[in-house]
Structure 1
Amino acid sequence: MGIDEAFIAALVDRFYASIRDDAELGPIFAARVNEWPKHLAQMNRFWQSILLSAGNFSGNPMMKHLAIPGLDQHHFDRWLRLFYAALRDLAPTPAAIDHIGAKARMIAESLLSGIWIHRDRDAALAKKVELPHV
């Protein structure tokens, strides 16, 4: 599918450049990311682990997201829209878009479910998480 470390680095760079410029998500990241090169390197390792089974990521994304007050579904919707825009610009094949997009959506839905369960204490899980495939 053409997914390699160089592609992942380009995707991470393009995506987070759009995040920083985004009126809604930019301030959330700006308040938490002090060293962008360090954050981008961490996100590269995260996506390499997800897409290449590299196993070089260590961290706890759930705890990081739980610590952000007010983070909710509309933020994840926006995150996915920006992610898909970067992905469509750079992906080498339609199969790569489908594969990586599905992984991103699954991660976002998992994080949002965790927020609803752990932060919001929605034990009944009355809401099913279904973020858009954009």
Structure 2
Amino acid sequence: MAKHDIRNREDIEKLVHTFYGQIRQHPALGPIFNGIVTNWPEHLERLSDFWEMILFQTGPGKNKFNPLKAHKEVDMKIGQRLTQVHFGNWLELWFTTLDNLFYGRVADHAKEHARNMASILYLRIYESRDQ
């Protein structure tokens, strides 16, 4: 089947489910996610809401997310051990998953938003740590 751009909620769910299936198996990221996430179906639904909001400015995610707060909490739970390498691993898997499944303007926007978000999140997490 030919690749196409991300067009709808179904495509977002395919992306999110495929991506986090890989995250859960990743040697560095899997233990973090599997140790924090207790309800994967709910988590995947929430992440699909988030990406629908980001990519289409629609859906149930509008104004209900605080990625910085969520990632700071994860960092605290794992002893302030999130590193740039973790964010780099996440981005590499995100880009690879997007490239394997989709092609187009919206897919490119998903990459750019993820890249920007990862940079900002890591910087803000690092700045908020006990020095």
TM tier relative to shorter chain: 0.7 to 0.9
Q: How far off is 1:97 after superposition?
A: 3.4
Give % identity. 36
Alignment of 1:80 onto 2:97: no
Which residue number in structure 2 is paired with residue 129 of structure 1? Answer: none
8 Å contact from structure 2 (residues 6, 104) kept in 1: no
Which of 68, 71, 80 pairs up with 1:65? 71
TM-score by length of 2: 0.84
Amino acid at match of 1:70: R
Which of 118, 123, 130 pairs up with 1:113? 123
Consecutive unaligned residues in structure 2, runs of 5 or more = none
Higher relative contact order (CA 8 A, sep 6+): 2
Which residue number in structure 1 is paired with residue 42 of structure 2? Answer: 38
Superposed CA offset, 1:64-118 (max 9, x none): 2112221110000000001111101111x24333221111111111111211222
TM-score by length of 1: 0.82
Q: What is the aligned-residue RMSD (CA, Å)?
A: 1.6
Which residue number in structure 1 is paired with residue 57 of structure 2? Answer: 53
Which of 7, 16, 35 pairs up with 1:3? 7
Give the Cα separation in 2 of the matches to 1:53 and 1:59.
13
How many residues align structurally?
A: 120
